């Protein structure tokens, strides 16, 4: 079985490549240019692979990345949501377009440097679960990847820790081409998403009211895309107590704010649900993450519409939290787990309840 290893030049993908090669697995390195092609970067990656005596290939997927990740990112902000482009990239690009290219080049599977675990279950097929390093677990960002694609994936770092990975490369005297940590959104310069949105001409400084939860007008905003649920700083409103963004009403172009006591939600409606375990096998009480840096908390699922496993998707579901939580941001990912850390499914948050 030949495995293509997706490499970025960083620590994680280099170790994934090295570990599979040392196991005697036939491998080749595959780099995707999601951004405009860089010959300098390509030469550096080729040199790194030459050091490891591994064949290197590069594919230009810039146009597809623009269409499948960047444009939806812009569109979500236009509609006053806060998107998660990394989750979309995993589903559409790394385990979509790049997997397609890997198979064209002769690979049977694709490996990445994600910190997540895959295991086989006779009843469910391929099961995605949390990585063993709690500080680096990336199962949340993988929850939109269809089960059929995960069945062709390999995660060599799933049972590793970041500290151990760095130590192993150091012990071998190996230095990645780009050892620094990747920035959060690769296509947004300097992590300034507001400047990026303006540069693309997709958003407008459209003024609208800022209202308290009781309906009192306390100011004006210059565009809902500037804000996200739970935000405290940068509201520009004088009040006797700290104010937070409670919700954004795109229909009326209204920003609703309130004090901390109002910053509560009992659940959320989730759309475009990717089912990784048949709902009939879900426990009555599941665990949920509505953002990445969050400990999973208890919830129940109701109103799962068209929840069949035939096509691996459901139109929507309602997730009811067992206790009040901070309102999740619309456009972010809701990832469901069982008590053993297996991912049951994931979808995009449409509305906080």
Top-confidence residue, 195 or 128? 128
Q: Is the pLDDT of residue 311 over 70?
A: no
Token readout for 130 is: 């949390």
The pTM score is 0.92
Q: What is the DSSP string of 39-50?
A: HHHHHHHHHHHH
Query: What is the structure's pLDDT at 56?
Result: 97
- Cβ atoms of residues 48 and 14 within 8 Å: yes
To the query of whether residue 89 is one of the catalytic residues in this protein, the response is: yes
Cβ neighbours for 328, distance < 8 A, ≥ 6 positions apart: 229, 265, 268, 290, 291, 334, 349, 352
How does pLDDT run across 13-49, given as a tens digit for each residue? 999 999 999 999 999 999 999 999 989 999 999 999 9
The pLDDT tens digits for 190-246 are 888 889 998 998 887 788 999 999 999 999 998 999 898 889 988 989 898 999 999
Beta-carbon contacts of 46 under 8 Å, excluding residues fewer than 6 positions away, are 56, 58
> Which residue of the set 68, 86, 89, 268 is catalytic?
89
CA end-to-end distance (rounded Å), the chain: 47
């Amino acid at each position: 079985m030949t495995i293509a290893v997706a490499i970025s030049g960083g620590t994680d993908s280099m170790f994934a490549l090295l570990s599979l090669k040392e196991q005697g697995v036939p491998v080749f390195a595959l780099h995707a240019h999601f951004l405009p092609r860089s010959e300098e970067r390509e030469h550096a990656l080729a040199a790194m692979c030459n050091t490891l005596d591994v064949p290197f290939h590069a594919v230009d997927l810039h146009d597809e990345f623009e269409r499948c990740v960047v444009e939806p990112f812009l569109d979500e902000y236009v509609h006053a949501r806060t998107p998660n482009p990394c989750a979309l990239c995993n589903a559409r690009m790394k385990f979509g377009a790049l997997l397609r290219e890997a198979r064209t080049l002769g690979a049977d599977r694709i490996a990445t440097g994600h910190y997540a675990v895959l295991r086989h279950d006779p009843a469910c097929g391929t099961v995605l679960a949390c990585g063993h390093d709690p500080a680096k677990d990336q199962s949340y960002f993988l929850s939109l990847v269809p089960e059929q694609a995960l069945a062709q994936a390999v995660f060599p770092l799933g049972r590793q820790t970041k500290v151990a990975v760095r130590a192993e490369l150091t012990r071998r005297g190996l230095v990645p081409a780009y050892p620094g940590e990747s920035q959060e959104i690769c296509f947004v310069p300097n992590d300034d998403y507001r400047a990026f949105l303006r540069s693309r001409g997709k958003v407008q400084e459209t003024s609208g009211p800022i209202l308290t939860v009781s309906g009192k007008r306390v100011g004006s905003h210059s565009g809902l895309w500037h804000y996200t649920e739970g935000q405290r700083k940068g509201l520009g409103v004088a009040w006797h107590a700290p104010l937070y963004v409670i919700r954004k009403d795109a229909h009326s172009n209204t920003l609703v704010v309130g004090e901390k006591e109002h910053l509560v939600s009992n659940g959320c409606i989730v759309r475009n649900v990717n089912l990784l375990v048949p709902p009939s096998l879900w426990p009555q009480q599941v665990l949920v993450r509505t953002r990445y840096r969050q400990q999973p908390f208890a919830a129940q699922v109701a109103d799962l519409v068209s929840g069949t496993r035939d096509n691996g998707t459901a139109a929507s579901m309602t997730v009811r939290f067992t206790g009040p939580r901070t309102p999740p941001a619309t456009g972010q990912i809701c990832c469901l787990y069982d008590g053993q850390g297996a991912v049951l499914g994931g979808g995009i948050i449409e509305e906080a309840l």
